[in-house]
Amino acid sequence: MCGLAGFLESNLNDNNSAKVLHSMGESIYRRGPDGTGIWFENIENKINVGFVHTRLAIIDLSDAGQQPMHSHCGRYVIAFNGEIYNHLELRYLLESNNHISWRGHSDTETLLACFGIWGIDKTLQACVGMFAIALWDKKEHRLTLARDRVGEKPLYWGWQDDALLFGSELKALKTHPAFSAEINRDALCLLLRHNYIPAPHTIYRGIQKLQPGHYLSVELSNDERKETLHQYWSYEKVVQEGLVNPFMGSPIQAVEHLESLIAQSINGQLISDVPLGAFLSGGIDSSLIVSIMQSLSSSPVKTFSIGFDDKKYDEAIFAVEVARHLGTDHTEMYVNDKDIQDVIPLLPEVYCEPFADSSQLPTFLVSKMAQQHVTVALSGDAGDELFGGYTPYSFTPKYWNYARNIPLQIRKFASRYIDKLPVNPKFKKLIECMAVQNPQLFYRNIISHWLNPEELVKNSSEPSTAFSSSTTFPVNGGYVDWMMSVDAQVYMTDDILVKVDRAAMYNSLETRVPLLDHRIIEFAWQLPVSLKINNGVGKWPLREILYKRVPKSMIERPKKGFSIPLSSWLRGPLRDWAEELIAYKRLADEGYFNVAAVRSCWNLHIQGQADYSRKLWSILMFQSWLENQK
Domain with 107 in it: what CATH number? 3.60.20.10
Whether residues 275 and 324 fall in one domain: yes
DSSP string, 229-255: EEES--HHHHHHHHHHS---S-HHHHH
Residues 221, 141: contact at Cβ < 8 Å? yes
Binding site annotation covers 380?
yes
Phi and psi based region of residue 144 (left: phi greater than 0; alpha: psi -120 to 50; beta: remaining): beta
What backbone torsions phi and psi does residue 134 show, to the nearest 5 degrees?
-120, 125
CA-CA distance, 51 to 252, in Å (whole number)? 50
Whether residues 90 and 14 fall in one domain: yes
Q: Which residues are within 8 A (CB) of 481 and not within 5 positions of it... i.e. 6 or more apart?
A: 239, 243, 473, 474, 529
* Peptide bond just before 68 cis, omega within 30 deg: yes
The last residue of a domain, from among 203, 233, 263 = 233
Whether residues 365 and 272 fall in one domain: yes
CA-CA distance, 121 to 313, in Å (whole number)? 46
Binding site annotation covers 379?
yes
Assess if residue 40 is contained within a domain.
yes
The last residue of a domain, from among 168, 199, 233 = 233
Whether residues 227 and 322 fall in one domain: no
CA-CA distance, 430 to 407, in Å (whole number)? 16
CATH assignment of the domain containing 258: 3.40.50.620
The residue segments making up the domain with residue 286 are 243-388+500-555
Assess if residue 160 is contained within a domain.
yes
2 catalytically annotated? yes
Whether residues 19 and 148 fall in one domain: yes
pTM of the entire predicted model:
0.96
Whether residues 189 and 282 fall in one domain: no
Query: Domain tally for the chain?
Result: 3
Assess if residue 441 is contained within a domain.
no
Assess if residue 440 is contained within a domain.
no
Identify the pLDDT of residue 556: 86
CA-CA distance, 101 to 112, in Å (whole number)? 13
Identify the pLDDT of residue 559: 65
Identify the pLDDT of residue 13: 66
Residues 63, 105: contact at Cβ < 8 Å? no
CA-CA distance, 114 to 93, in Å (whole number)? 10
CA-CA distance, 355 to 240, in Å (whole number)? 31
CA-CA distance, 130 to 355, in Å (whole number)? 22
Assess if residue 472 is contained within a domain.
no
Whether residues 148 and 294 fall in one domain: no
Whether residues 325 and 176 fall in one domain: no
pLDDT digits (tens, 9 = 90+) for 243-301: 999 999 999 999 999 999 999 999 999 998 899 999 999 999 999 999 999 999 999 99
Whether residues 547 and 618 fall in one domain: no
| 534 burial via Cβ count (<10 Å: 0-12, 13-18, 19+) | middle
Whether residues 211 and 94 fall in one domain: yes
Whether residues 19 and 101 fall in one domain: yes
CA-CA distance, 295 to 278, in Å (whole number)? 14
- If one counts every other C-beta atom within 10 angstroms of the C-beta of residue 459, the result is 9
CA-CA distance, 589 to 471, in Å (whole number)? 40
Which portions of the chain are predicted below pLDDT 50?
Answer: none
Identify the pLDDT of residue 561: 58
* Catalytic residue from among 2, 127, 433, 601: 2
Binding site annotation covers 107?
yes
CA-CA distance, 382 to 408, in Å (whole number)? 35
Assess if residue 418 is contained within a domain.
no
Of 103, 153, 99, 102, nearest in space to 124 by CA: 153
Assess if residue 446 is contained within a domain.
no
Whether residues 549 and 572 fall in one domain: no
Where helices occur in 388-424 by DSSP H, the ranges are 392-403, 408-417
Assess if residue 397 is contained within a domain.
no
What backbone torsions phi and psi does residue 85 show, to the nearest 5 degrees?
-70, -25
Give the pairing type, strands 302-308 and 276-279: parallel
The last residue of a domain, from among 233, 264, 290 = 233
Bridge partner residues of 166 (DSSP): 6, 157
